[in-house]
Amino acid sequence: MSGRIFLLGDDIDTDQLAPGQYMKGGLDMLAAHCLEAARPDFAGSVKPGDVIVAGKNFGMGSSREQAAEALKHLGLAGVVAKSFAGIFYRNALNLGLPVLVADDISAVEDGDAASLDPAAGELVLEARNRTVRLEPLPDNLKPMLADGGLVPHLKKRFAAERAKEAGE
């Protein structure tokens, strides 16, 4: 799926992604205010398939999962950053939101048309015929992301265990 790029800076924190004052309003409201401090136009204009490209330490701050949930809710194809805060990184993958590290994002410009291929580890900048290489995901996480996150992944695992027990 193809989308457009929102280019952000360093140190985007979880309070910007999921502002505390809207936490009570549910995911719809939270998503509607996602990133409004850094990009007031973000929640209103983001479309499914769009990609965030950011600098270092994306998602720093609290362990609140709503930070990743809000992005997923808005239909983002994923986030590419120079680095991620550890808890956010884990949360995003657990929720099935692709997050990928790129050493060099200098080729990317805000508003570029792009498509993200997590499995291949590529961000293709379509209009400019360029590809940004992404670090491959750790092997243990690929099946989880392919299953859509930790919960569906564990469901599959428990179902397999139950089937095995029943068969014995």
Partner 1 sequence: MASTLAQKIIARAAGRDSVRPGEVVTAQVDLAMIHDSGGPRRVEPILKELGVGLFDASKVVLISDHFVPGDTDEGARILELTRQWARERKVAFHDGEGICHVVLPERGHLKPGMLVVGGDSHSPTGGAFGAYMFGIGATEMAGVLATGEIWLKVPGTILIEWQGRLSPGVLAKDIMLALCGRLGMDGGQYQAVEYTGEAIAALSMQERMTLSNMAAELGGQAGLIAPDATTEAYLESVGGSAGDWLGLVTDPGAELAAHHVFDASTLEPQVAAPHSPANAMPVTQAPETRFEVAYIGACTGAKYEDLKGAASILRGRKLAPGLALKVAPASMRDQQRAADEGIMAVFEEAGAQVLPNACGICAGYGADRLGEDVTCISSTARNFQGRMGASSSKIWLASPLTVAASAITGQIADPREFLNDGEGVA
Using CB under 8 A as the criterion, which residues of the chain lie in contact with partner 1 when the complex forms?
11, 13, 15, 19-21, 24, 37, 56-57, 60-65, 68, 83, 85-87, 89-91, 94-95, 138-141, 149-151, 154-155, 158
Nearer to partner 1, 9 or 111 (CB): 9
Identity at 163, one-letter amino acid code: A
Please report how close the Cβ of residue 72 comes to partner 1 at its closest, in angstroms.
11
Distances (CA, A) of 42 to 12, 62, 70, 131, 150: 14, 21, 12, 24, 27
Please report how close the Cβ of residue 140 comes to partner 1 at its closest, in angstroms.
5
Please report how close the Cβ of residue 151 comes to partner 1 at its closest, in angstroms.
6
Residues facing residue 84 across a β-bridge: 58
Rounded (to 5) percent helix, strand, coil in the chain: 40, 20, 40
Q: Which pair of tokens denotes residue 21?
A: 């004052």
Separation between Cα atoms, residue 39 and residue 160, nearest integer Å: 44
Nearer to partner 1, 116 or 137 (CB): 137
Please report how close the Cβ of residue 138 comes to partner 1 at its closest, in angstroms.
5
Nearer to partner 1, 43 or 141 (CB): 141
